[in-house]
Chains A and B, each alone.
Chain A
Amino acid sequence: MDTVADMGGMQNFGSVSLTPPDDPPFHEEWERRAFAMALLSMRLSGTNLNSFRHALDRQHPIDYFAFGYYGRWLKMAENLLTDSSIIAPGAVEARARRLRGEDVDEPPPPEPNKPDYAPTAAGSIRQVDHPPKFAVGERVRARDIHPPGHTRLTRYVRGRTGEVRMIQPAMVLPDTHAHFQGENPQYVYAVAFDSAELWGPDAEPFTLSIDLSESYLEAVA
């Protein structure tokens, strides 16, 4: 999905302010709780890190910004838990209203319906029994595709040509793993792009490197 989470190169977000070195990771108690529940929601819902990220990406663009960082995490936890029928739709709203004194009915807990899936190993790194398709120094093009579901192929590199800089370990493919359609383990490559290739001849001079799964790439003839 081409979502608002894919922000590379977008303009008009303004300036960035550095925070003090001792700035704590959480500023409010609810942020601590949302953080912990979001991570626990993966196990509770029988999902994985890729579906976790997809549940962040697919929030409505207005919600994505309005909820803020840990607010998004909380909504993501709710989404994963609702999708797997661990909690009923509307259960959080009903409980919240009861907590503030309103007399509302709460939906009963549903019958869990977790995805029919189990990872073959912990984490994302996998062993594959074939050599990498591309070599360090080889010219490659990021495919100009628009996957309907989750992807980590950023819009700003699609169709652009770069050079393989490093071959990283083989890892599960987020695009299928997020949807429980298989791990599809494949090598990941750090691909280097010249800034002018990405942003045109007036771009600042620099090199952009990004880690891309093998199936995001095609050979340059």
Chain B
Amino acid sequence: MTVSDTDAERLPIALRTEALESILVERGLVDPKVMDGFIKNYEENVGPMNGAKVVAKAWVDPEYKARLLAEGTSAIAELGFKGPQGEHIVVLEQTPGTHHVVCCTLCSCYPWPVLGLPPAWYKDPAYRSRMVREPRKLLSEMGLDLADDVDVQVWDSVSEVRDMVLPERPAGTEDLAEEELAALVTRDAMVGVAKVAPPS
């Protein structure tokens, strides 16, 4: 093997990060305020609450749902969600007989405009390695047991196409308004590792 950084004394990664920022700021190459704004945007504005609005609208508006399944990117942009990692979004509809689940075996490709930055488990080597090989077993370990007759569809999103799952609307939500429905929708359901639970 070639020499890795592991062979030398390993500097703490937080210190390494501070060192790089200090060099780039000193030379005027990055502005810490720009970085702050960038970080804040992904902590506060871009996250699964965006995707939840898309899902809730699709549940109450059949015409919107048809547009969403036909042309995901433009239908999602109708609600104002677009940007990096969202150039072309395909929406996959869960049905009683078909279950979709999304992964990225090569890195952590994820539809940022609708789901934000990926959670730790999505980036975990165990998730990346196993979802394309034993999805039923892995989903079961993650708390989702699928019946034997369900058609399991795994999507390895390794190009610039991004996939988002449209979960099934849970029973007992007929009287809920769109905003109340959005509050039920979780990130995990929009990746396909969970279902949307009925209101408790």
- Chain A residues with CB under 8 A of B188: 18, 21
Shortest Cβ distance from residue B36 to the other chain A in the assembled complex, whole angstroms: 8
CA distance A124 to B107 in the complex (A): 17
Number of A-B contacts (CB under 8 A): 234
- Chain B residues with CB under 8 A of A169: 88
Contact assessment for A125 and B6 in the assembled complex, using a CB-CB cutoff below 8 Å: no
Contact assessment for B132 and A156 in the assembled complex, using a CB-CB cutoff below 8 Å: yes
Q: Is B105 an interface residue, CB under 8 A from the partner?
A: yes
Shortest Cβ distance from residue A155 to the other chain B in the assembled complex, whole angstroms: 9
- Select which of A62, A96, A124 is within 8 A of B16 by beta carbon: A96
A 187-211 to B, binary, CB cutoff 8 A, 1 in contact else 0: 0101000000011000111111111
Contact assessment for A123 and B87 in the assembled complex, using a CB-CB cutoff below 8 Å: yes
Q: Size of chain B's interface in residues, with CB distance under 8 A?
A: 76
CA distance A154 to B117 in the complex (A): 23
Contact assessment for B30 and A40 in the assembled complex, using a CB-CB cutoff below 8 Å: yes
Shortest Cβ distance from residue A40 to the other chain B in the assembled complex, whole angstroms: 6
- Chain A residues with CB under 8 A of B105: 6-9, 154, 156
Given A77-B20, A95-B19, A204-B136: A5 and B6 interface contact (C-beta under 8 Å): no
CA distance A57 to B107 in the complex (A): 8
- Chain B residues with CB under 8 A of A71: 13
A 131-145 to B, binary, CB cutoff 8 A, 1 in contact else 0: 000000000000000
- Select which of B10, B17, B107 is within 8 A of A37 by beta carbon: B17
Main secondary structure of the interface of A (DSSP, over half): mixed
Contact assessment for A96 and B135 in the assembled complex, using a CB-CB cutoff below 8 Å: no
Using CB atoms, name the residue of chain A closest to B22.
A95
Contact assessment for B129 and A11 in the assembled complex, using a CB-CB cutoff below 8 Å: yes
- Select which of B5, B17, B47, B157 is within 8 A of A33 by beta carbon: B17
Given A92-B23, A96-B11, A207-B152: A8 and B133 interface contact (C-beta under 8 Å): yes
Given A35-B39, A92-B19, A206-B153: A16 and B138 interface contact (C-beta under 8 Å): yes
CA distance A6 to B130 in the complex (A): 12
- Chain B residues with CB under 8 A of A74: 13, 16-17, 20
Given A7-B125, A37-B17, A188-B159: A87 and B154 interface contact (C-beta under 8 Å): no
Using CB atoms, name the residue of chain B closest to A5.
B106
CA distance A123 to B6 in the complex (A): 35
Q: Is B15 an interface residue, CB under 8 A from the partner?
A: yes
Using CB atoms, name the residue of chain A closest to B159.
A211
CA distance A74 to B46 in the complex (A): 22
Shortest Cβ distance from residue B103 to the other chain A in the assembled complex, whole angstroms: 8
Q: Is A129 an interface residue, CB under 8 A from the partner?
A: no
Near B by CB (< 8 A), chain A positions 42-97 give 44, 49, 53, 56-57, 60-63, 65-71, 74-75, 77-78, 81, 86-87, 91-93, 95-97
- Chain A residues with CB under 8 A of B133: 8-9, 11, 156, 198-199, 203
Shortest Cβ distance from residue B95 to the other chain A in the assembled complex, whole angstroms: 14
- Chain A residues with CB under 8 A of B187: 21
- Select which of B30, B35, B47, B136 is within 8 A of A206 by beta carbon: B136
| A contact set with B: CB distance below 8 Å | 5-11, 13-19, 21, 23-26, 28-30, 32-37, 39-40, 44, 49, 53, 56-57, 60-63, 65-71, 74-75, 77-78, 81, 86-87, 91-93, 95-97, 99-100, 109, 123-125, 152, 154, 156, 166, 168-169, 171, 174, 188, 190, 198-199, 203-213
